[in-house]
């Protein structure tokens, strides 16, 4: 199953979030913003999201995944370097 894994360390729960789930969340947030700003124009909604620096859940998860992958890869490189020095 492709997608993101969200881990809640306080409860030790893993939740699989697929891309279709994220798109559903994005849709729900966009619909809420359309009602809040009383506009059906998606360009206006996107402009207001940028103005208020409000990211959709899908965008946030993608940023978090990218940051996690970068940190993970750095850790792997450090561990490899340590293992090479010890051997």
Annotate 26-64 with b (16+ C-beta within 10 A) or e (fewer): beebeeebeeeeeeeeeeebeeebeeeeeebbbeebeee
CB 14 within 8 A of CB 7: yes
User: What is the number of domains present in the chain?
Assistant: 1
CB 19 within 8 A of CB 2: yes
Indicate whether this model's pTM tops 0.95: no
Sign of the alpha-carbon dihedral angle for 56, 7, 65, 68:
positive
The partner residues of 17 in beta bridges, in order of sequence, read 4
Q: What is the pLDDT of residues 8-42, one digit of tens each?
A: 555 445 567 788 888 999 999 999 999 999 999 99
**The pLDDT of residue 87:** 79
Domain that holds residue 12: 4-86
């Amino acid at each position: 199953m492709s997608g993101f894994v969200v881990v809640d360390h306080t409860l030790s729960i893993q939740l699989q979030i697929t891309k279709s789930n994220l798109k559903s969340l994005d849709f729900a947030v966009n619909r809420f913003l359309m009602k809040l700003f009383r506009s059906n124009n998606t360009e206006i909604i996107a402009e207001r999201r940028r103005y208020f620096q409000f990211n959709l859940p899908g965008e946030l998860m993608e940023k978090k995944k990218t940051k996690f992958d970068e940190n993970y890869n750095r850790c792997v490189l450090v561990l490899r370097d340590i293992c090479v020095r010890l051997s």
